[in-house]
A and B are shown apart, each in its own frame.
Chain A
Amino acid sequence: MSNKNPRNQQPTIGEVMDQAGVGRRQFMKYCAGITAMMAMPPLSTAAFARDLRAARRPSVIYMPFQECTGCLESLTRSFAPALENLMFNTISLDYNHTLQAAAGEAAEAARHAAMEENFGEYVLICDGSLPTKINGAYGTSDGHTFLQQLEEAAEGAAAIVAVGSCAAFGGVAAAYPNPTGAVGVADLVKDRPIINVPGCPPMPEVMTGVLVSFLASGVPALDKHLRPKAFFGDTIHDRCYRRRFYDRGLFAKSFDDEGARNGWCLYELGCRGPTTYNACATIKWNGGASWPVEAGHGCIGCSEPNFWDQGGFYEPLTAKLFKERGQAAAAAAAGVAVGAAAAYGARRRQKKLAGDAE
């Protein structure tokens, strides 16, 4: 509550909303949408809205590491409702070298200023993995490795939101043989609250939803992979509208067969829905227009650790199991040999006993 803290001089989100001419009803509708999306009880909406209005506009530092900008694309090009964009605008995005006008030294100076002013208060968003081999030299900017930058930026962060499967788990860059030694933020930072929002890319509604819920009520309940349970609590398969076909054993066998045309389950075409936790099946993509499984493609499990090293995306989950038939044949031959030897031994004993008896 001290006045030295610059965050106390920031307007509250309510004030920002008022200034932008957002009506109370529109704001409540937005909050109701968020709480519904997070499966919070309807009665909690009012309290959520109150807390969110009272929250001060946060300073956000967005650090891109070894990334493809897909996550940022997902976030900024979302077809999300205007208010949701506005929500994103209410945060004070103090650094994002892709979006900001300032570049080079000026941008870095702005980042350092924001970090100093808001030490201990700012939200650090990261996307991209962190290359660790040769002391992090695979990823540098402004003369510093990503490793150093993360360490420095993490120190004063109130919380870190690792956006995308790369920042969360290492991602595609970490795929075998992982030449750069890529890892996720949580593999390196151990002493800050970390919220993982994986996905390749993550859903824009989930990214903003996580930010907003963090502002209103702090770090949400997380699962074992540090993903907010509100969005990653159910598997794709749990919520998939093709589930009734799975349950009836009706599977598309190729992308253009009768089954595919009838909208049958895509499990045999490699769908990873049963072991993938994400919100695609409920929130859907592009403003609720559709989502991968609805568009006819199996889920590739993009919000799960290691999804990049699970064999072909079009192989059913268990397909890769018994490829080494040579080993099975060898085991069979060894079994026959041991069995024959055992029988031979037994017969000799038998004969000997018979001889003794005579």
Chain B
Amino acid sequence: MSILEFSRGPMLHFALIVFVFGVLWRLTATFLLGFRQRRSEPRVTKGQAMAGGATVLGMRSWPHKEFIGRTAFGEAVGYGYHIGLFTIVLLGAPHVLFWQNLFGFSAPWWPTLPGGLITFISILTVMLMLIATIRRVGHPVLRRISNFDDYFTLVILYALMLTGLMTVLGIGGRYEYILAAHIISFNALLIWFPFSKLMHAFYIFPSRFLNGYMHAKKGAAK
């Protein structure tokens, strides 16, 4: 079995199983934890509380007026990076094929972007990731609150994106090795995902919503 066959065969298989297992473990454990009992009288109706949740969800996803000078740059980089990443993964032709093959459906309607454009976006996205890394290391507060999880996740993402670019540009060695390295990085991401900050993909919006919901219920939302 060649390394490419291994990476997209048994290793991918294993990584997917760890991913499914780990993510459901984390999600179930969190959602079954339950909520602390609120002893205060609800100040608003359920509908209003939900609206409060939605408001906070939206608000937290945008820089606050008060701090915009300090946070806008970081947020812009973050947004740019995530948009780039999703564009590559959801609209890049090889990836679209991969998802279809993985889940076993054919979707001729699924749009893809030209390869050259995806490559361009990939280079931009890697540069944004680089800026985010420099900021993390350079910013006195960010540096102090960064831990192994933050850096290791970055390492995996760099490996994934750089090998992806190398695959397209045909640099760094034989195609099947670079592609195998790309898929192995993806497998590493899948395995690391449930046990790391990457879980924010699942938690971020529910937690923002809940936060707003609770506050609204207590009458603490403005």
Contacts and interface: CB of A to CB of B under 8 A. Distances in A.
Nearest to A325: B104
Nearest to B12: A321
Interface in A302-345: 305-306, 310, 316-319, 321-324, 327-328, 331-332, 334-336, 338-340, 342-344
Given A249-B96, A321-B13, A347 B34 contact: yes
B21 A248 contact: no
Interface string B1-44: 01011001100110011101111111111111110000000000
A254 to B, nearest CB: 10
B175 interface: yes
A321 B96 contact: no
A193 interface: no
Q: Is the interface of A mostly helix, strand, loop or mixed?
A: helix
Interface in B71-117: 93, 96-98, 101-104, 106, 108, 111-116
A156 interface: no
Contacts of A305: 2
Contacts of A318: 8, 97-98, 101-102
Interface in A235-254: 235, 237-238, 246-249, 251, 253
Interface stretch (A6-14, A77-85, A181-189, A267-275): A267-275
A343 B33 contact: yes
The winner among A249, A267, A268, A321 for most chain B CB atoms within 10 A is A249
B56 to A, nearest CB: 25
Contacts of A248: 93, 112, 114-115
A335 B102 contact: no
Interface residues of B, number: 45
B176 interface: yes
A346 interface: yes
B21 A319 contact: no
Contacts of B16: 322, 328
A305 B5 CA distance: 12
B21 A331 contact: yes
Given A247-B114, A342-B29, A343-B32, A275 B17 contact: no
Given A319-B101, A343-B33, A249 B28 contact: no
B160 interface: no
Given A253-B108, A319-B101, A335-B21, 20 more contacts: A237-B175, A248-B93, A249-B112, A249-B114, A274-B179, A275-B179, A306-B5, A316-B97, A316-B101, A318-B8, A318-B98, A321-B102, A322-B13, A323-B104, A335-B22, A339-B25, A342-B25, A343-B30, A343-B31, A346-B33
Interface of B: 2, 4-5, 8-9, 12-13, 16-18, 20-34, 93, 96-98, 101-104, 106, 108, 111-116, 170, 175-176, 179
Interface of A: 235, 237-238, 246-249, 251, 253, 267-268, 274-275, 305-306, 310, 316-319, 321-324, 327-328, 331-332, 334-336, 338-340, 342-344, 346-347
